[in-house]
Structure 1
Amino acid sequence: MIQQSDIPDLKKVTDSEAEALCTRLRAGLIDTVSRTGGHLASNLGAVEITVALHRVFDFERDRLVFDVGHQCYTHKILTGRADQMRDLRSFGGIAGFPKPVESPCDAFVAGHASNSVSVAVGMARARTLTGADYDVVALIGDGALTGGLAYEGLSDAGNSGERLIVILNDNGMSITKNVGGVADHLARQRLKPQYLRFKKGYRKVMSVVPGGKAVYRVTHKIKKAVKDTLLPCSLFEDMGFTYLGPVDGHDVRGLTRLLRYAKEMETPVLLHVRTVKGKGYPPAERNPDRFHGVGRFCIQTGEPLQSSGPSFSKAFGDALCALAAKDDKICAVTAAMQDGTGLGTFFQRFPARAFDVGIAEGHAVTMSAGMAKQGMTPVFAVYSSFLQRACDMLIHDVALQQLHLVLAVDRAGLVGEDGETHHGVFDAALLDTVPGMTVLCPSSFAELRSMLEYAVHQVKGPVALRYPRGGEGNYRGDSGRGRSAVLRQGRDVTLVGYGLLINQILECAELLADDGVSAEVVKLNTITPIDVDAVSKSVSRTGRLLVAEEAAEANCVGQRLLSALALRGAAPGRAALCNLGRFFVTHGSVAQLHKLCGLDGRSLYQKALEVCAHG
């Protein structure tokens, strides 16, 4: 593991010393992530880019915006956090994404894709308006260019006239390669030092010579016409960027030189670099998708140290394949998350009905709406935190016409080590605001299978099936055919929950029983709409209510339930709502975060005792 004392002053290192540092950093990344888990392949591909950036810029003053932020590990090491990498993504340790509260060198929180250019042009305009002096760089890659927001940002940034640099880290996931020997030859010629010096000098001379500006415009148009015919980079230059590239993203010498040149320019610059995802670690180079996000693994073999076991994602994928084998109208849609959402087998078995649209959740929803309107049954599998980007489309393109779109909302609830940017804690509230929406919450694999079949074949209009990351708990039952189920009879207090947290609620009930408190456990299978009748019936007997959920406080199930009971005149004498409050939850294991937020079984038990004591 690399130490902070191993990091030299990058402004003073030679090219050969920078190359040696990249080798050490790459070995350190492999060692660190093998111990902590995290994003490996993307970071291995960005080592030279990051070192070159730190040789040219001072990111305590200059601004570096990552996109996506999981490329930032080398940056963290180079900015005083090398010794903290041993606790990467651990509870109380540093985050796996840029986090300004950790370091002034982290310019912006970056956990989702495609926003870097928009952020960068905003920072550049703020610099102009305040008369400040700093450089702004956006590092975009690893598929982020498949998101529509990236093009909105590029279009505005190129026409802004602001001094900024956009680096496209092209590892084959965002943009197509240039084709042909002539294109490659011209690209190399355009990036030679003598050409860049001539171009800079020619522009300077023509700006002062009488009539020079007119001559420059004519020669520039001629050069552009020839170049556009042979080099496929006109898209970015048409947007207003000075385009440099493509170049070798693992040549730290060449990257440093080009960044120094780009830094001197007074216009938007786009530097296109080609990298290998997983560079320097053969298992990751052979299978970059598998090493995109990994748990602890053996460096020698690349094999995980601990089997991941069955998961809700795998159970969903298998169940969808079983349904699709009998119904040729079922289609699967994903936004660059085939394996993450368990759809890998579906893509193999039913390729004609499987669609990966890239990091474009809004498009995925609207495309699915078009499919549904024409009689297909689209199932869009998406992480809860990524679904947030498609709320407008859910309302206007799906709900307005009550189209039958099935949302498989993966990673619902707390996800663990990825932290604030990835916890799925807002979908329960957001989906409830969509007219006609049905939201189902399985607590076991068996319930997921039965609820998915119900969602596909019986629900009318939009329907969401939300389930957590990882595997099931001690509860393995299947009570998912009704809107709710009473899992345990009781007389003193009603405990209400849904999803995987039902395991902690049942543990709470056991602890209460040891104290002579009889708790009734009501499990909600549907949280939109809520089965108020079942809860009202239970509360009428117990007089006390506790609702626990892995969700943000605003518009949570507990709030909606209490409001509905009050309107009926059936409000409990004493109630407690246990949720995640109105703040963002940090990173750590799910068990640690449950305890932090008061959602573990013992914390719920203590809260239930308080409710009973004051009932």
Structure 2
Amino acid sequence: ILIILNDNNIGIDPTVGALKEYLTDITISPTYNKLRGDFWDALGKLPIGKDFTRDMVSKIEAGLKGVVSKSSNLFEALQLRYFGPIDGHNITKLVDTLKDLRDIPGPKILHIKTVKGKGYDLAEKDQTKWHAPGLFDKVTGEIFKKKYDLPQPPKYQDVFGHTIIELAKKNSKIFGITPAMPSGCSLKDMMEQMPDRAFDVGICEQHAVTLSAGMATQGMKVFCNIYSTFMQRAYDMVIHDVAIQNLPVIFCLDRAGLVGEDGPTHHGAYDIAFMRCIPNMIVSAPMNENELRNLMYTAQLDSTKNPFVIRYPRGNGVLAEWKNDMQEIIIGKGRKIKDGKDVAILSFGHPGNFAAAAIRDVKVEGINPAHYDMRFVKPIDEALLHEVFAQYKKIITIEDGTIVG
């Protein structure tokens, strides 16, 4: 087997952690570079010619690294023969190396160095911005706005980023943690303003959850922000490290529901089902930006003793004015949006806005549904449900999850 490590020092944001530093050390090791240069010069003087030496160089490099110290190479210590690093943009060199490695038996790893956005100057200069820009003019670099130049409500992500800083300034126990998504989830501003209270732990959701749990045991109020789909990787830690101990970790599940351009790997369709079944867990979803702020405020109160899920979608909310004073929400209590007759719509989270729009449209046809925003699916508002069941014969539920589970 051949493992190819495409090392470009960035995912969506710049990579962090010990492995990243280790890969950098491999590349710039002065001992290795000196030995490599000495061997190259010596081989270039042999009568068999430079072409032959160039063909042999990748194999000789592997031996050189063994001379420096096999045990100092992480991959060699794992019984993987290590080759590289080589320039991943040098196609001729890359193809020749792959051909050479094809005939070498056993497990091996090829370390290639690349530049994210290579070939497009704007993308090379701002790799985070150009990770997923949407439609753009390739000549000017202008990123097209989907709804022209009309003012838009803020993204839920930006409301989260603003609100956690606002709360953290008043509550010294608040910390923020994200696994390699500081820009995507908007924790980056807190990391810049409060570098000792907000951390990117790298692409390791399991560590993000367990670190949050450990900090919670010491009285900290940790906002652990993870994309819904990636929380699946840390499910064991959520149960064993957080829920069993009933630690008040606040899980902000970004990209909940369908995510559009981010694609099927990022759809957050399962978190309602897999979080709701965990003992001690509170599961909530805001219908708008103010509700998100109020849920975040409620979750960080000392009176909130349970792990707390707040799930919200990718993209814009619905309110132009959202920087209102935050208020506590009674856990497990929904709210009535409007009265109606015959039909009641129960919504959970942002899809409630689609329900509200549909209700406005059907009024002209003589249909007048009632609308309730449940806010929580665990604990669920049983009193509200009994009220609805007693008054309405037809019930419609709207949520962005999976029925199975």
TM-score normalised to structure 1 length? 0.57
Question: 1:228-377, aligned counterparts within 5 Å?
Answer: 228=69, 234-306=73-145, 309=152, 310-377=154-221
CA contact (8 A) 1:475 1:503 kept: no
Deviation at 1:507? 2.4
Matched residues in 1 for 2:218 and 2:255: separation?
30
The alignment status of 1:183 with 2:32, answered yes or no, reads yes
Structure 1, residues 322-359: CA drift from partner, whole Å, max 9, x if none? 00111111111010000100111101110011111111
Question: 1:16-165, aligned counterparts within 5 Å?
Answer: 164-165=1-2
SS of equivalent to 2:260: coil
Q: Report the counterpart of residue 315 of structure 2 in structure 1.
A: 470
Higher helix share: 1
Structure 1, residues 206-264: CA drift from partner, whole Å, max 9, x if none? xxxxxxxxxxxxxx8xx7763217x95x2111111121111111111111110000111
Question: 1:409-424, aligned counterparts within 5 Å?
Answer: 409-424=253-268
Structure 1, residues 502-544: CA drift from partner, whole Å, max 9, x if none? 1121123233332222311111111111112202211211121
Deviation at 1:301? 3.9
- What is the root-mean-square deviation in Å for CA atoms of aligned residues? 2.6
Question: Which stretch of the first structure deviates more once superposed, 360-369 or 276-285?
Answer: 276-285
Question: Which stretch of the first structure deviates more once superposed, 305-314 or 475-484?
Answer: 475-484
Question: 1:197-236, aligned counterparts within 5 Å?
Answer: 197=56, 226-228=67-69, 234-236=73-75
Gaps of 5+ in 1: 1-163, 202-219, 556-615
Question: Which stretch of the first structure deviates more once superposed, 247-256 or 504-513?
Answer: 504-513
Matched residues in 1 for 2:351 and 2:57: separation?
66
SS of equivalent to 2:300: helix
Specify whether residues 476 and 539 from structure 1 end up closer, same or farther in structure 2 by C-alpha distance, changes over 3 A only: farther
Q: Report the counterpart of residue 53 of structure 2 in structure 1.
A: 194
Matched residues in 1 for 2:106 and 2:361: separation?
66
Matched residues in 2 for 1:259 and 1:361: separation?
33
1:522 to 369, 372, 379: 372
SS of equivalent to 2:137: coil
Residue type at the aligned position of 2:138: I
Matched residues in 2 for 1:187 and 1:298: separation?
44
Q: Report the counterpart of residue 548 of structure 1 in structure 2.
A: 398
Matched residues in 2 for 1:474 and 1:199: separation?
59
Deviation at 1:187? 4.7
Identity value in percent: 35
Matched residues in 1 for 2:58 and 2:371: separation?
75
CA contact (8 A) 1:249 1:273 kept: yes
Specify whether residues 198 and 546 from structure 1 end up closer, same or farther in structure 2 by C-alpha distance, changes over 3 A only: closer
Residue type at the aligned position of 2:182: Q
Matched residues in 2 for 1:284 and 1:395: separation?
40
Matched residues in 1 for 2:320 and 2:235: separation?
32
2:360 to 501, 510, 523: 510
Deviation at 1:549? 1.2
SS of equivalent to 1:382: strand
Matched residues in 1 for 2:142 and 2:132: separation?
13
Q: Report the counterpart of residue 46 of structure 2 in structure 1.
A: none
SS of equivalent to 2:337: strand
Matched residues in 1 for 2:165 and 2:53: separation?
58
Question: Which stretch of the first structure deviates more once superposed, 469-478 or 434-443?
Answer: 469-478
SS of equivalent to 1:431: helix
Residue type at the aligned position of 1:228: S
Residue type at the aligned position of 1:466: R
Specify whether residues 384 and 187 from structure 1 end up closer, same or farther in structure 2 by C-alpha distance, changes over 3 A only: farther
Deviation at 1:200? 7.4
* Runs of 4+ with >6 A deviation: 198-201, 474-480
Specify whether residues 297 and 244 from structure 1 end up closer, same or farther in structure 2 by C-alpha distance, changes over 3 A only: same
Matched residue count: 370
CA contact (8 A) 1:324 1:330 kept: yes
SS of equivalent to 1:449: helix
Structure 1, residues 559-589: CA drift from partner, whole Å, max 9, x if none? xxxxxxxxxxxxxxxxxxxxxxxxxxxxxxx
Matched residues in 1 for 2:169 and 2:346: separation?
37
Matched residues in 2 for 1:518 and 1:388: separation?
40
Question: Which stretch of the first structure deviates more once superposed, 182-191 or 322-331?
Answer: 182-191
Structure 1, residues 439-497: CA drift from partner, whole Å, max 9, x if none? 12111111111110001114212001111111113798999834211111012011111
CA contact (8 A) 1:474 1:503 kept: no
Deviation at 1:194? 3.1
The alignment status of 1:408 with 2:267, answered yes or no, reads no
Residue type at the aligned position of 1:465: I
CA contact (8 A) 2:289 2:319 kept: no
Residue type at the aligned position of 2:139: Q
Q: Report the counterpart of residue 388 of structure 2 in structure 1.
A: 538
Q: Report the counterpart of residue 460 of structure 1 in structure 2.
A: 305
Matched residues in 2 for 1:421 and 1:261: separation?
34
Q: Report the counterpart of residue 5 of structure 2 in structure 1.
A: 168
Matched residues in 2 for 1:266 and 1:281: separation?
38
Matched residues in 1 for 2:399 and 2:168: separation?
32
Structure 1, residues 278-328: CA drift from partner, whole Å, max 9, x if none? 212222111111111212223334342217952000001000000011111
Matched residues in 2 for 1:520 and 1:539: separation?
12
Specify whether residues 480 and 489 from structure 1 end up closer, same or farther in structure 2 by C-alpha distance, changes over 3 A only: farther
Deviation at 1:377? 1.3
TM-score normalised to structure 2 length? 0.85
The alignment status of 1:389 with 2:233, answered yes or no, reads yes
Specify whether residues 354 and 453 from structure 1 end up closer, same or farther in structure 2 by C-alpha distance, changes over 3 A only: same
CA contact (8 A) 1:493 1:539 kept: no
Residue type at the aligned position of 2:317: E
Q: Report the counterpart of residue 63 of structure 1 in structure 2.
A: none
CA contact (8 A) 1:383 1:412 kept: yes
